[in-house]
Amino acid sequence: MDNSSVIVGGITGAVIVLVLFAFVMIPPSTITRPEIAVPNGNDPSIVGETTTSYSKSLSLIEIFKNSEPGVVRVNVQRTQDDLSPTGVGSGFVFDKKGHIITNAHVVEGATKVVITFLDGRSYNAEIVGVDTSTDVAVIKVNADLSLLHPLSLGDSSNLQVGEPIAAIGNPFGLSGSMTSGIISQLGRLLPSESGFSIPDVIQTDAAINPGNSGGPLLNMRGEIVGINTAIQSATGEFTGVGFAVPSQTLVKVVPNLIQNGEYKHPWIGISGRDIDPDLANVLELKDAVGFLVVTVIPDSPASKAGIRSSDNIKEVGGVQYTIGGDIILSVDGIDVRKISDILIHLQRAKSVGDEMILEILRDGRTTNLVIVLEERPNGE
C-alpha cells in the first residue's frame, strides 16, 4: 500500500486505519489503546493540594502534588452479570459541576462506570457525551464539591519538540502514578475507533501503559496540554512512544459534548495521496508538495465546490498512477505539504458551516475554490 495515501472525511474505516498506520510508520498491530488494566486492589490515598494555573515552571514534585487531586481512576464494567470491573483507565476533573474528561475508548461499551477520587471515595458516573473521532469522552459524577479539583487546560499550540512534560494516571491499575519525559514530535495523525484519523496528535516519550488512557499530559506549569490516548507497541506495553490528543482539540470538543452529547466534525469529502518525489515526476511538478485529489465523494462539500477527481491512469516503471485530479496547494493561505496540514487546519480552526479557501493546481494553472464545510456523515 502506498504510505502517502489518505482519506479526508473517509470512505471506509478499514482503509483509513491501514493508511494512517502507514502514514505514521506504525504497523497495524502495534497501536494500543492503553485503557485496560487489571485492578490490583490497592488504591493508596496520598492527599495533595489542588491547582488552577501557574505562570512559572514548577518542579515535577510540585506538578504532582498540585495535579494529583484532580486525576481520577475510571473503573469500567462491560458486562451485566459481573460485579467486578473489566477495565481500568484514567480521567481528570474538568469543572465543579462534576464533569470528568477521559478517552472514548475507555468507556466504550460500558454498562457501568465508577470514578474513584484521591481519598478513595467512589461514585457512579453517567456518560454525558462521546466523540470516537477524537477519542474524547465526558462523564459526570454527583460528587462532594470538596473532591472536585478542576485542572487547568493549557495551549497545546505553544508546545515545542524537546519540551519536558509529565503524565499522571493509573498504569496497570496502580493509582496516582506519574511519569515524565519530553515532547518527541507534534502534528501526528493517529487512527481512531471511528475509522477517521485524529489530527494534530502529540507524540511523547513519557511512559504510558495500560490504565493511563484518559489521564492528563501536563506541561511544566502544571497545565493540561493533552489527554493520553495510545502507545506504539507490539506487546501492549510502553516501548518509548506514546500519543496524546492535544488540549486545543479538547477546548473545541468538550463543551459540545457537555451541551449536546456529540461533536459535529467538518467534512470535505475527498480521498487522495500526498505528492511524493515519484508522483511529482509523473505529474511534471517542480516540488514534491501538495495533495492530489483522487476521488470526490458525490454530494459532498468538495463535489459542490467543483473539485475535480482523478480520471486517468499513467504507468511509469511498471507502477500505475491515478492522475488528472486537482492538487491542493494551500487552505486558507496555509501551505499544504501533505494531508496532515489540511486535517490539522480543519481541527484547529474550522467548524461545520465555515467556508474554506482551497488553492488548487489544475491543468498547469492555479486557482482558488471556496468550499462550505458540512457535517461529516456517520458510518462513511
368 and 312 in a common domain: yes
298 and 229 in a common domain: no
Annotated catalytic residue 213: yes
Q: Residue 209: which pLDDT band, with cuts at 50, 70 and 90?
A: confident
What is residue 93's predicted lDDT score, i.e. its pLDDT?
97
Q: How far apart are CA 292 and CA 321, in angstroms?
A: 11
| DSSP assignments along 162-228, one per residue | T-EEEEEE-GGG-TTEEEEEEEEEEEEEEE-TTSSEEEEEEEE-S---TT-TT-EEE-TTS-EEEEE
Q: Residue 318: which pLDDT band, with cuts at 50, 70 and 90?
A: confident
78 and 182 in a common domain: yes
Out of 2-16, 166-180, 304-318, pick the least confident.
Answer: 2-16
Q: Which domain, by its residues, includes 300?
A: 265-375
Per the residue annotation, which of 135, 274, 326, 341 is the catalytic one?
Answer: 135
Give the residue with greater pLDDT, 378 vs 255: 255
Domains held by the chain: number = 2
Average pLDDT, the chain: 83
48 and 142 in a common domain: yes
pLDDT tens-digit map of 215-274: 999 999 999 999 999 887 666 666 778 999 999 999 999 999 999 999 999 999 999 999
Per the residue annotation, which of 4, 5, 99, 105 is the catalytic one?
Answer: 105
What is residue 378's predicted lDDT score, i.e. its pLDDT?
72
Per the residue annotation, which of 213, 300, 310, 340 is the catalytic one?
Answer: 213
Q: Residue 1: which pLDDT band, with cuts at 50, 70 and 90?
A: very low
- Over range 336-360, report the average pLDDT: 94
Residue 158, C-beta contacts closer than 8 angstroms, at least 6 positions apart: none
Copy the grid coordinates of residue 129. 457525551
Burial of 55 (0-12, 13-18, 19+ CB in 10 A): exposed
51 and 195 in a common domain: yes
pLDDT tens-digit map of 173-208: 788 899 999 999 999 988 766 667 889 999 999 988
70 and 111 in a common domain: yes
What is residue 17's predicted lDDT score, i.e. its pLDDT?
26
Boundary residue ending a domain (237, 257, 277): 257
What is residue 145's predicted lDDT score, i.e. its pLDDT?
93
What is residue 35's predicted lDDT score, i.e. its pLDDT?
46
Give the orientation angle of helix 339-349 with respect to helix 247-260, to 10 degrees: 50
- Over range 33-61, report the average pLDDT: 50
Annotated catalytic residue 184: no
pTM value is 0.80
CATH code of the domain covering residue 269: 2.30.42.10
Boundary residue ending a domain (257, 273, 308): 257
Q: Is the pLDDT of residue 95 over 80?
A: yes
What is residue 230's predicted lDDT score, i.e. its pLDDT?
86
What is residue 317's predicted lDDT score, i.e. its pLDDT?
80
CB 302 within 8 A of CB 365: no
Q: Is the pLDDT of residue 16 over 80?
A: no
Q: Residue 380: which pLDDT band, with cuts at 50, 70 and 90?
A: very low
